[in-house]
Every structure is written in structure tokens, then in C-alpha cells.
Amino acid sequence: MWHKSVCVALVALATGYVFLLDPDLPDSVLEYISASYLYQLRGDRVSPESSMAAAWDSLIIQPAKQWSRVAVGVNACVDVILSGVKLLQALGLDSGGGRDHSVLHSTTDLKEAFSHFMGKGAAAERFFSDAASFHHVAQTASEYPGAQLYVGGNAALIGQKIAMNPDLKVMLCGPIGPKLHELLDENVIVPPKSMQELDEFHLILEYQAGEEWGQLRAPNANRFIFSHDLSNGAMNMLEVFVSSLEEFQPDLVVLSGLHMIEGQNKEVRQQRLLEAVAAISDIPTDVPVHLELASMTDPDLMSEIIHQQVFPLVDSIGLNEQELLFLTQAAAGPHAALTSWNGTPDVGVVSDILFWILKEHGRTPTKDSDLTRIHFHTLAYHVLATVDGYWANQVAAVAAGARVAGTQACATETIDASRVFLKAPREFATSRIGESSVVSLNPSEPVSEWHRDGISFHYTPVLVCRDPLRTVGLGDAISAEGLLYSEFSSQ
């Protein structure tokens, strides 16, 4: 055994030396050296990744009462996916300093915004205001060798994922052109009024962990999305969607696309948001509504979504770390002074913000709100926060969401332990401002649970794909899978 101990010590020293020489190595490299390889050297028969995958499989059970008819709307498009660096090079753009732009007006803005988020390894979505310039970029992208066309838009992606379950009927409403209709699963029902002559195209610029462009180096894989999408930008299909519900009779409604109206001027946006509130109010109160948020930059829009009766009208919300931080900043919530996440988001900080959302804007004995569930996802871990008494089977739901993140990113049917790694903290505090406990990672029991003043938290790490084949739509797949395994009680 002594030679294995020596090997472990040497690898530990080598890891420290390599990190000293290049502290910006991709996390996947360091994780591989410091975790899985050490398990092998110690002679452990089962890696933590294998233990976690097996534990998930035993925890993920169907809810006692399952959905039968799911209505999804209202943003849908065709995604054109390709390498961001290669597209910008094809457009004749050189690498340079990164700078965020809330709206893109030119290819220079595009280059700067892409560089800004690639350097952070963060996802983002922006509106491209100039139609002629966008169509030139879109044509270059669609004709680029290796560019791929997929179903796009949060609603369409969630609908497509749910439609993989043959026992479910799925209705999708959005601006659906001929190419998108061709790409949709045959199990997806599209109302005739939802069809249009032309498709809406969104450009998805991907980058890989460690990918370099000039002085930039991406810390992890992610994507930058942009479009000149007027149909989705005005949520044109919202009223068609709501009017189709009476005939379809869903037992679950999934809504997304509010972020798309950010490209409108303030007056139009405010009017459209009021109309959206009125439309959502027409959905029968016994049918739960899940709202999927997406990347936004205008704090006024986020504040309006929170305060102008959108949150109280929905039962569930799905969001990632960028959207969660932006939400608390826009609404002056806890940890609002935090300007950005430093690496993996602190679980205690995330927990504090989720708790505040449900306490301030969710259902309580003194608040007439429907909001009782939030599904938070980030690269390293997921958290499901629920008001007690309204949602069941959340252990399975949070585990299912994490499992699909690993399988979809790696394009595998099941978790391949050799292609994933643990990025989650080995231990964490459950709060930074309230009563807290410390939770330690146990791969054999991957779902941790804690409670705080009538709200339950379910946490699980993610098995992160080392070399992801596709990052687009992961958040939508996570939310869809979490909903499929959730059981709702309207009380």
C-alpha cells in the first residue's frame, strides 16, 4: 500500500505545482486530477461520480399523480448553433476588449459583448436592433460549415423535452414557421393560429472550456445568444396561447418569453406586460403555471415582472444564477450589493435569495400569491425551494434535473462516469444571513434537504460534462425534467 500513498502525495504535489504555474487551467482539468484520479490511486472501486449516478437512479421515482396534458408557450424559433469565435473570425472581427451591451446595434457591439461573457464563462442573451446587419450575420452563420439547426426558444425546447414522454400530450404555441414545424416532435400539437410563413432565427455562439481567442480564455463552456426576433420580441402569440387552453384542457401550463420584450421601447413594453398579466389571469386557477425566466439586462423590466402581479400569478419559477442575482439586484433583495458571482455561486447566498423571493413574493398566510416553488440551476449544483404543503416528490425532481444536465450535455442516454466530474463544493453553509447549518457532500446520498420557516430546500450537485457537445437548452431541459417528476397540490 505504501507505493499508492507515495503516488497520491506526488500527484497532490504535482497538482499544486501545475496550478501555481497556470492558475487559469479549466476547472475540469483540476477536478480530474484532484478527484477521480486520486480515487483510482487509492484503490477505490467506485468513483464518486459513479456512486452519485447510481444513487440518483434509485431516488428518481415517478410522482403518485402525473401530468397528462401540458401546454407550453410562447417563445419559439430555429436555433443556428456554431462556434462563436469562428463566426466572428468569418465576419472579419479581431479579438479585443470585452464590454457588455444591453442591446446590440452593430457587429462591433456583438464582438465586445461576446468577449465579455466568454471571458467570464457566463451565458447571456441579447437583442440585435439592426435588421440588415443581423440578417448579414445570420446568413454568414447559417452557411458556415458545421453550423447546425435545432428547435429553439425556451417554450419550444421545454415542449420538445416533455414530448419525449409518450404518455403526455403537449401543445406548443409560438411563432412556428415551416422549418421549426419540421423539427418538432410528432407528439407536439401546434394550434393552426400559431403557424406563420417565415421562421424566426436565433444565433447561438458556443465556446468550449479553455478555448482561447486572442488574450481571452474561457473558464468553462457556455454560449452567447442573440437575435432580431420581432414576433417573440412582442410575445405576439400570448393571446393565441391562452385562448387555446380552453379546448386543450391542460393540467400544467409552462410559460416563457417575457424576457424577449426587453427589446421594445419602455411604453410598448409596459403595455405588453400589463396585457400579459391580464392573459395569465385568464388561466384557470386550479391549473399550475410554471414561468421560465431567461437572461435580462434591464432592471426596470425585472422589477416590473416581480411587482406588477406576474410572480403572484404563477405557481413555479425556473432560473439560473445570472437571473437570480439580477433579480435580487433589481428588487433590492438580499446580497444585492454583490456585483457578480466569483466562480461557483455560494449555496448560502443562493439559499438566502430563494428564501426571500418566496417570503416576499410567494404564498404566505398574509399574501394572496400562487408562487410556491423555485427551481434554481447553475453549472455545479441545483436547488429546489418550495413552500411546505404544495409540492411533493421534490427529491426525485431535483435529482432528475441534475441527471439530465449531465446526460444532455454529453449526449448520452445515461450518466457516463468517465465523462463527468464533480464541481460542487465539498461542504457549504445553508445561509449567510439566517440560521445556518453546514452540509457535507456524500456521493452515496446526493440530495440534501433543509428547512427554514415553512420553506423546504432540496439540493444536489451536478455531474458536469468534461467535454460538452451542446450547452444550449440545458436550463430548459432541467426545468422540464424537474416538472415531470413534480407533484402539485392546489390545496
Question: Could you list the active site residues?
Answer: 476
Using the 8-state DSSP alphabet, how is residue 311 labeled? G
Using the 8-state DSSP alphabet, how is residue 93 labeled? P
Concatenating the DSSP letter of every residue in 261-309 gives GGGS-HHHHHHHHHHHHHHHHTS-TTS-EEEE------HHHHHHHHHTT
Across-strand partners of 150?
A: 79
The cell for 156 is 419550444
Residue type, 31: E
Nearest-5° angle of CA 186, CA 229, CA 221? Answer: 75
CA distances, 220 to each of 73, 327, 357 (Å): 31, 24, 29
- Of 207, 82, 199, the C-alpha closest to 151 is 199
CA distances, 482 to each of 201, 221, 376, 377 (Å): 28, 23, 10, 11
Class of residue 90 by CB neighbours under 10 A (exposed 0-12, middle 13-18, buried 19+): middle
- Of 477, 452, 451, the C-alpha closest to 462 is 477
Distance CA 337, CA 346 (A): 14
Which residue in the block uniquely carries the three cell numbers 457556455? 222
Distance CA 151, CA 375 (A): 23
Residue type, 453: D
